[in-house]
């Protein structure tokens, strides 16, 4: 897993090449909304893509992580089906429902049933390389989903070059990112991570939470400013030094949110002394997203080392799938 994290810049460049080589048929009619369906390592790319696209998207871009699809999906809907393996049962079910609803479908997968259906129905299909764990292939799915949104006119400008500059950035700053990750790994040692960021960067916090779950085999939670100021902040009432709070920050965040972070630190600091901040690198939204994703991935594998656990192993998920296969 460490090797896969270190190779993230190369993965981003390979993903851009896949996008450039893809030929999509486009949307025939009036595109009114977009649904991205996928779970786990395949689904988080959709969450982050929807946030990166939010301010310029011409139609709603919604992410669904389950067996079913919203009632508004129909002939005016673009559905991006994201399943790295191509055999995710929830995603296949959602794909079938989207087909029944008459939606236009683009599949992003390395093979499996999803690719089989896409070929059979002559859907747009972007094939990814096979072999690695889905959570280690975020770059592949995220780049394709942003490319699809641009190709279908949902966002006006291509961001492929931004992914290339992001790859250059994290490669150039690899040592600094690794040093910060090492410090934060020590910060989290023996504690429960609590991750806070802002609304349109929530996908990055979710990514870190999921990586800590799967790679480091620990529980943690996240929330966003300003929403947490209307609920979770009230829950900070008891001293608990087992909690370690990480604030994922951006100097370009809205000034009112910047102020909220400072007030939050004062409130939370009464109940735990363990508060750290990570200020993101990069010049644009894509670079910033990739920078913090890469930092979080390093934290998760270093924490796995620290805890003496195998970051690749996911036996409990295999067990769950095995039990489900009996029904």
Report the range of poorest mean pLDDT among 65-74, 154-163, 239-248.
154-163
Residue 323 has what pLDDT? 87
Percent of the chain with pLDDT over 70: 100
Residue 325 has what pLDDT? 86
Arithmetic mean of pLDDT, 77-97: 97
Active site residue 255: no
Contact between 102 and 75 under an 8 Å Cβ cutoff? The reply is: yes
Arithmetic mean of pLDDT, 307-319: 89
Active site residue 183: no
Residue 133 has what pLDDT? 79
Q: Is the preceding omega at residue 226 within 30 degrees of 0, hence cis?
A: yes
Percent of the chain with pLDDT over 90: 88
What does the pLDDT look like over 93-137, one tens digit per residue?
999 999 999 999 999 999 999 999 999 999 999 999 987 778 888
Active site residue 214: yes
Active-site position among 51, 90, 180, 214:
214
Distances (CA, A) of 146 to 42, 56, 219: 14, 12, 30
261-288 burial: b if 16+ Cβ within 10 Å, else e: beebeeebeeebebbeebebbbeebbbb
What does the pLDDT look like over 1-22, one tens digit per residue?
889 999 999 999 999 999 999 9
Q: Does residue 144 surpass a pLDDT of 90?
A: yes
> In whole numbers, what is the pLDDT of the chain averaged over residues?
95
What does the pLDDT look like over 28-38, one tens digit per residue?
889 999 999 99
Residue 31 has what pLDDT? 97
**Cα–Cα dist 283/24, whole Å:** 30
Structure tokens, 240:
């608990």
Residue 158 has what pLDDT? 82
- Structural domains present in the chain: 2-164 (3.40.50.10490), 175-307 (3.40.50.10490)
What does the pLDDT look like over 251-303, one tens digit per residue?
999 999 999 999 999 999 999 999 999 999 999 999 999 999 999 999 999 99
Q: Does residue 219 surpass a pLDDT of 80?
A: yes
Active-site position among 55, 230, 251, 326:
230
């Amino acid at each position: 897993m460490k090797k896969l994290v270190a190779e993230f810049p190369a993965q981003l460049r390979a993903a851009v090449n896949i996008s450039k080589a893809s030929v999509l048929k486009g949307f025939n009619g009036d595109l009114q909304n977009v649904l991205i369906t996928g779970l786990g390592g395949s689904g988080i790319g959709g969450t982050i893509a929807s946030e990166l696209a939010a301010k310029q998207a011409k139609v709603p871009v919604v992410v669904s992580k389950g067996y079913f699809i919203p009632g508004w999906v129909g002939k005016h809907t673009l559905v991006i089906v994201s399943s790295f393996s191509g055999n995710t049962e929830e995603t296949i079910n959602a794909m079938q429902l989207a087909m029944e609803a008459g939606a236009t479908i683009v599949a992003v997968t390395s093979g499996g049933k999803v690719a089989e259906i896409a070929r059979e129905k002559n859907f747009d299909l972007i094939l990814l390389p096979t072999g690695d764990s889905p959570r280690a292939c975020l770059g592949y799915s995220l780049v394709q989903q942003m490319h699809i949104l641009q190709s279908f006119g949902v966002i006006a400008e291509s961001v492929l070059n931004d992914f290339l500059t992001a790859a250059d950035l994290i490669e150039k700053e690899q040592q600094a990112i690794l040093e910060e990750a090492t410090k934060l790994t020590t910060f989290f040692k023996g504690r429960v991570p609590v991750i806070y960021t802002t609304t349109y960067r929530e996908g990055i916090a979710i990514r870190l939470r999921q990586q800590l779950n799967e790679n480091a085999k620990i529980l943690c939670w996240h929330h966003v400013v300003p929403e947490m100021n209307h609920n979770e902040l009230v829950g900070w009432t008891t001293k608990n030094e087992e909690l370690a709070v990480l604030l994922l920050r951006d100097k370009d965040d809205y000034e009112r949110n910047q102020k909220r972070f400072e007030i939050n630190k004062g409130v939370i600091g009464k109940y735990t002394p363990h508060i750290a901040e990570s200020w993101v690198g990069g010049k644009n939204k894509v670079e910033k997203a990739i920078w913090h994703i890469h930092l979080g991935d390093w934290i998760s594998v270093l924490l796995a080392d620290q805890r003496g656990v195998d970051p690749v192993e996911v036996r409990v998920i295999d067990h769950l799938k095995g039990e489900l296969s009996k029904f």
